[in-house]
């Protein structure tokens, strides 16, 4: 199937790369390894769209395929195709890392639905430089974050998504209202009662950022008109 660029595009919509990455990690049979490596190679070689090739490479990096390739390199395979595919994929994925921006990495991680505490999440510089990009394509990435909060059962995903929601609110001027419109505030509030303590902690931090953002806005209004108590109260209610 992956010999067809059109079918590769369809397969991407079903997030096949992370699934195959998991199977590759658990596989003990050479035949299974051979097929998965061949599929990955086709997904880099066959598409004519350079953007799709880049997206596939990033998805493989995100699925920890490079780590698995380094392990496979230590094995001796009788099948020469396996060794050739390992070398090809290792070269291509390492090259893709060099061209990978922090936002590319972040975007791919969100789209994969497999959030973890990768460096970009805790990077102040990343949020300062890229926070506005989360509003692109009609808030595509933010909607994905909110969807993960609503549907995921993975405690790590819920914790990281909650943190990211809070950071978006903290760094983006209209972040609070956008998150409320997308239903993110409600999802985070619900996680305050989650059974996992790490999820509750990150949800609480996100809620605090929502509230602090509100008070910072109120403080600015008070400085503009310190004599108008009723006016500032109105701002507090709307903020």
pLDDT tens digits, one per residue of 54-95: 888 888 888 889 889 999 998 888 888 899 999 999 999 988
Mean pLDDT of 20-28: 89
Closest CA to 25 of 69, 61, 59: 69
152-168 burial, b at 16+ Cβ within 10 Å, e below that, comes to bebbebbbbbbbbbbbb
Of 96-110, 112-126, 162-176, the poorest mean pLDDT is in 96-110
Question: What b/e readout covers 41-73, taking b as 16+ CB neighbours within 10 angstroms?
Answer: bbbbebbeeeebbbbbbbbbbbbebbebbeebe
pLDDT surpassing 90 at residue 52: no
0.75 exceeded by pTM: no
Q: In which band, very low, low, confident or very high, does the pLDDT at 13 lie, cut at 50, 70 and 90?
A: confident
Q: What CA–CA distance (Å, rounded) separates 170 from 96?
A: 31
> Mind listing the pLDDT tens digit for each residue in 162-183?
999 999 999 999 899 999 999 9
DSSP state, 46? S
Q: Is the pLDDT of residue 231 over 50?
A: no
Summarize pLDDT for 180-213 with one digit per residue, the tens. 999 999 999 999 999 999 999 999 999 999 887 5
Report DSSP state, residue 64: T
């Amino acid at each position: 199937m992956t010999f067809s660029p059109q079918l590769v595009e369809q397969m991407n919509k079903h997030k096949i790369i992370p699934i195959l990455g998991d199977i590759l990690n658990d596989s003990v049979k050479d035949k299974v390894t051979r097929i998965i490596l061949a599929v990955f190679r086709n997904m880099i070689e066959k598409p004519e769209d350079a953007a799709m090739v880049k997206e596939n490479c990033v998805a493989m990096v995100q699925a920890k395929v490079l780590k698995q390739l380094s392990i496979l390199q230590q094995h001796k395979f009788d099948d020469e195709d396996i060794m050739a595919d390992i070398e090809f994929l290792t070269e291509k994925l390492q090259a893709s890392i060099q061209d990978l921006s922090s936002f590319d990495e972040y975007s791919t991680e969100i789209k994969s639905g497999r959030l973890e505490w990768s460096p970009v999440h805790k990077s102040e510089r990343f949020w300062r430089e890229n926070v506005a990009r989360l509003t692109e394509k009609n808030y595509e990435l933010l909607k994905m974050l909110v969807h993960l909060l609503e549907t995921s059962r993975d405690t790590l995903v819920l914790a990281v998504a909650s943190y990211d929601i809070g950071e978006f609110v903290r760094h983006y001027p209209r972040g609070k209202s956008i998150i409320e419109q997308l239903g993110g505030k409600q999802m985070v509030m619900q996680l305050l009662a989650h059974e996992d303590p790490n999820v509750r902690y990150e949800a609480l931090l996100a809620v605090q950022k929502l509230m602090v953002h509100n008070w910072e806005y109120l403080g600015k209004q008070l400085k503009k008109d310190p004599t108008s108590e009723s006016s500032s109260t109105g701002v507090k209610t709307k903020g």
